[in-house]
Structure 1
Amino acid sequence: MDWRSINFDWNHARAFLVTAEEGSLSAAARALNTTQPTLGRQVTALEESLGVVLFERYGRGLTLTPAGLKLVEYVKNMSEAANQFSLAASGQTESVEGNVVISASEVTSAFILPELLEQLRTRYPGITLEIIATNETSDLRRREADIAIRAFRPQQPDLIARRLRDIAAGFYATPTFLQRLSSGNSAPDFHQATFLGFNHGDELIHLLNQLGIPVTQRNFPVICANHLVQWQMVKQHMGIGLMPLEVGDNDPDVQRAIPDLEELSVDCWLVAHRELRHNRRIRVIFDFLAQQLSDSDRMG
């Protein structure tokens, strides 16, 4: 290989790739935790070193030129190789120190992880933690997180997963709200009840119908994807919401809205990249979380 023929900076190539993926310099700058002018200079420097125009600029947005479309595929391969290099290199250390990024749902992050992570920090004070509380799926292969707690088993061959104990869940509401649904001593009329949804899909409708609760879209006048915000809505008497039993049964402000309903069961998986599994600090935290989150008393 003639190394003298390679005359561009990898950082410039990375700036080009992230800008292409994000669609604008401002979004790419946020993704790389840098400034827009710095990123713009890096992209311009790459264009000058290669002698091609990579983007057409339309207002605040960017569109790849034909040359950019061709070259971005090569840079993606370079990025994947760099990522694999980073993963392999990080696996060489045996130290239980350094930063670990854990991705989990909003509810898990807020109600389940804090106690566990306090134990973890006491046991391994050299560990620093970053928690990504999101209901979206973090991409472990792109290093958006080191470890993830998910409600489904990953299918990618370069990820490893350990099945945790299933999470039991149920529907909750405040006593005040349930009293409004009752007429005298009669049972609550769930046909007329307000349920809180996460999106505009029909998943919860189908689930409730299968459980013998005849609801339609009219029973879901309030939608909120943020589970923590939705839980506060439940506690403000706005409707019936879904929550793990570990959280709902321990909250004195609510009660099971449909106590005779069979408990719902949600899968729970602990996931890490296969290469990172050979990193001591990741392995230690992975095993710790696997043990703690497989505890039947803890998972509800």
Structure 2
Amino acid sequence: MNWNAISFDWNQIRAFLATAEEGSLSAAARALGQTQPTLSRQVTGLEDALGVTLFERGHRAMTLTQAGHEVLAHVKDMGDAALKVSLAASGQSSHVEGKVSITATELFARYYLPSIIAELQQVAPGIFVEVITSNDVRDLTRREADISIRHARPEQPDLIGRLVAETTAHLYASRDYLDRSGRPDGLDDLADIDLLSFDEAENIVPFLQGLGMPVTRENMRASTASGGLLMELTRAGLGATFLTKEAADRFPELEQVLPSMAPVPVPVWLVTHRELRTSRRIRLVYDLLADRLPALMAAAADDQSAEKSE
């Protein structure tokens, strides 16, 4: 492939990146606020310019070809560079100012948002960030927040979402608790386990039963909307709860209960109102979150895996 002879259209590059990240043309179109036919033409135009097939077209999904993977490695660097230029230019503008509210769970906000907010202060010092920590899904349609970090895909038609990362949750308890109560060998052994939760029993018990856990309301020992307090209750040996691996692996006293149990998928969606993407300050924060969160989560997982292997 003669890269020197190719003249790139940045819109085609953005379309390709979004499609590779989102996995389908429809999802990529929503992420970029474009129509699907327009996005499809841009991707096809890049394939024509490069003379290669970048995607295998399925009924609903777009799968990268080997050539697509090779091109992706190059254009990701271009995308990062373009974002840095955009952030630097916006940060120097006195017009990029005002409040942007972000809602996320307490643990997610604690572990991932500080470094992003620090970078934002450097590139756009006129933006004031309000972080709302809550396990409840804030209603973006009523402007209760500008940007939401959710663990479920948005269903409302006036919201746009971008899947930025995926992780898993597992049942964890302290080693002290498991030493006292015993380590389960199978799902049936969870019938007497003490449970801690971020939600009330009538909501969480049906979910756990759907995972095959033979639990009832009597298993519930405490619930709290505070992710930090839930973590401390678990570390104190008061029961077991579901935590993401990245959160639990930060505390060596926590142990996965019944490792053979299937993990619970935890997608990370970045969501905002469609109209708000036209706001320069909200678009700036949204794009920075979309760019930084996947790398931060991947780095946290890699660091914890390295620590365990030492």
TM-score by length of 1: 0.61
Partners of 1:298 and 1:276 in 2: CA distance? 30
Alignment of 1:141-160 (within 5 A): 141-160=141-160
Structure 2 counterpart of 1:249: 249
The 3 A distance-change label for structure 1 pair 208 and 272 is closer
Q: Tell me if structure 2 keeps the 8 A contact 1:159–1:271.
A: yes
Deviates more, 1:130-139 or 1:190-199: 190-199
Structure 2 counterpart of 1:194: 194
Alignment of 1:1-300 (within 5 A): 95-182=95-182, 189-202=189-202, 204-295=204-295, 297-298=298-299, 300=301
Segments of structure 2 that go 5 or more residues without pairing to the other structure are 1-92, 302-310
Partners of 1:247 and 1:199 in 2: CA distance? 18
Partners of 1:264 and 1:215 in 2: CA distance? 17
Deviations 1:185-219 (A, max 9, x none): x8594332101133334554344445443222221
Q: How many Å apart are 1:298 and its aligned residue?
A: 5.0
Partners of 1:115 and 1:263 in 2: CA distance? 28
Q: Tell me if structure 2 keeps the 8 A contact 1:181–1:190.
A: no
Secondary structure in 2 aligned to 1:221? strand
Partners of 1:162 and 1:96 in 2: CA distance? 23
The 3 A distance-change label for structure 1 pair 141 and 205 is closer
Deviates more, 1:200-209 or 1:168-177: 200-209
Deviations 1:149-199 (A, max 9, x none): 11222233322211222231111111100101228xx85943321011333
Structure having the higher helix fraction is 2
Secondary structure in 1 aligned to 2:165? coil
| Aligned-CA RMSD value | 2.6
The 3 A distance-change label for structure 1 pair 148 and 299 is farther
| Amino acid across the alignment from 2:298 | D
Structure 2 counterpart of 1:68: none
| Amino acid across the alignment from 1:195 | L
Partners of 1:278 and 1:102 in 2: CA distance? 17
Secondary structure in 2 aligned to 1:215? coil
* Identity in percent: 35
Segments of structure 1 that go 5 or more residues without pairing to the other structure are 1-92
Q: Tell me if structure 1 keeps the 8 A contact 2:116–2:292.
A: yes
Q: Tell me if structure 1 keeps the 8 A contact 2:99–2:128.
A: yes
Partners of 1:94 and 1:146 in 2: CA distance? 21
The 3 A distance-change label for structure 1 pair 140 and 206 is closer
Secondary structure in 2 aligned to 1:268? strand
Q: Tell me if structure 2 keeps the 8 A contact 1:167–1:266.
A: yes
Partners of 1:220 and 1:136 in 2: CA distance? 20
Partners of 1:285 and 1:107 in 2: CA distance? 20
Deviations 1:237-259 (A, max 9, x none): 10001111111012223121222
Q: Tell me if structure 2 keeps the 8 A contact 1:94–1:281.
A: no
TM-score by length of 2: 0.59
Secondary structure in 2 aligned to 1:176? helix
Deviations 1:5-40 (A, max 9, x none): xxxxxxxxxxxxxxxxxxxxxxxxxxxxxxxxxxxx
Partners of 1:190 and 1:97 in 2: CA distance? 52
Q: Tell me if structure 1 keeps the 8 A contact 2:171–2:257.
A: yes
Secondary structure in 2 aligned to 1:262? coil
Q: In terms of Rg, which structure is larger? A: 1
Deviations 1:35-85 (A, max 9, x none): xxxxxxxxxxxxxxxxxxxxxxxxxxxxxxxxxxxxxxxxxxxxxxxxxxx
The 3 A distance-change label for structure 1 pair 173 and 133 is same
The 3 A distance-change label for structure 1 pair 176 and 201 is closer
Deviates more, 1:227-236 or 1:114-123: 114-123
Deviations 1:78-108 (A, max 9, x none): xxxxxxxxxxxxxxx9933222111112222
